[in-house]
């Protein structure tokens, strides 16, 4: 039994809390949030603390497990790295209704939501979100700090590089590749590849032209 702290008191944080409660095994669950002062009113019947003050007060004390409950990939990655530097230990949360193959691998700091399926030989990196009812088929490779939105379907052998965001209900056909930091729009179907940093939408998915600033 250990304590768990969730970094990010938001709508996504509520869902992550539900996963933690469904798993059980934590003595306490609390939140920290950058928008909060030293402490604030309870959030979902959990204590909530200002992130900066809370992390300062740790100061070498026994550190709880943590998970960053922030949807934005870049922000989640920055908070994850900061927590590691302060000596917090990343948790991995998997809802009991998820189906995870014995040969699949899920790295630290990742949350797996209800009704997810992760099939044989699939690998999911650190600090990822595998959202409600997503399917990660056999031999997929998902990098660090990725968000697979609700209902995403990755066919066998798909590769999703770090910091990519795959939108609600999107599909990647077997063997497709989604580049680092790419965004796949909701409902899109990726036939072959999406370049790094690109945004692709539609059926089949087409890369949107980059806008000049």
Q: Are 10 and 69 in contact (CB under 8 A)?
A: yes
Tokens of 52: 């900066």
In DSSP notation, 169-212 reads T-EE-TT-EE-TT-EE-TT-EESSEE-TT-EEETTTTEEPPPPP
For 152, phi and psi rounded to 5 degrees? -65, 145
Q: How many CB atoms lie within 10 A of CB 26?
A: 18
| Residue 106 near residue 119 (C-beta atoms within 8 A) | no
Q: Are 2 and 27 in contact (CB under 8 A)?
A: yes
Enter the tokens of residue 180.
Answer: 């680092």
Across-strand partners of 90? Answer: 66
Give the Å distances, CA to CA, from 192 to 36, 127, 195, 206: 44, 26, 10, 10
Contact 83, 67 (CB under 8 A): no
| From 12, 138, 145, 161, the catalytic residue | 138
Residue 147 designated active-site: no
Q: Which residues are catalytic?
A: 138
């Amino acid at each position: 039994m250990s304590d768990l702290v969730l970094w990010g008191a938001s709508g996504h944080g509520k869902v992550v809390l539900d996963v933690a409660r469904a798993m059980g095994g934590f003595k306490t669950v609390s939140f920290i949030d950058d928008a909060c002062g030293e402490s604030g009113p309870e959030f979902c019947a959990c204590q909530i603390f200002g992130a900066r003050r809370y992390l300062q007060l740790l100061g070498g004390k026994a550190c709880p497990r943590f998970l960053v409950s922030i949807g934005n990939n870049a922000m989640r990655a920055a908070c994850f790295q900061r927590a590691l530097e302060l000596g917090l230990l990343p948790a991995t949360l998997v809802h009991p209704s998820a189906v995870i193959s014995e040969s699949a691998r899920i790295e630290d700091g990742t949350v797996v939501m209800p009704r997810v399926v992760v099939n044989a030989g699939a690998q999911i990196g650190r600090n990822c979100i595998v959202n409600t009812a997503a399917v990660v088929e056999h031999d997929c490779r998902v990098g660090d700090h990725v968000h697979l939105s609700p209902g995403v379907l990755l066919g066998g052998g798909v590769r999703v590089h770090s910091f990519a965001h795959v939108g609600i209900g999107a599909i990647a056909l077997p063997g497709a590749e989604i580049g680092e930091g790419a965004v796949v729009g909701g409902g899109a179907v990726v036939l072959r590849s999406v370049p790094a940093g690109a945004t692709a939408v539609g059926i089949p998915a087409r890369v949107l032209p980059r806008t000049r600033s």
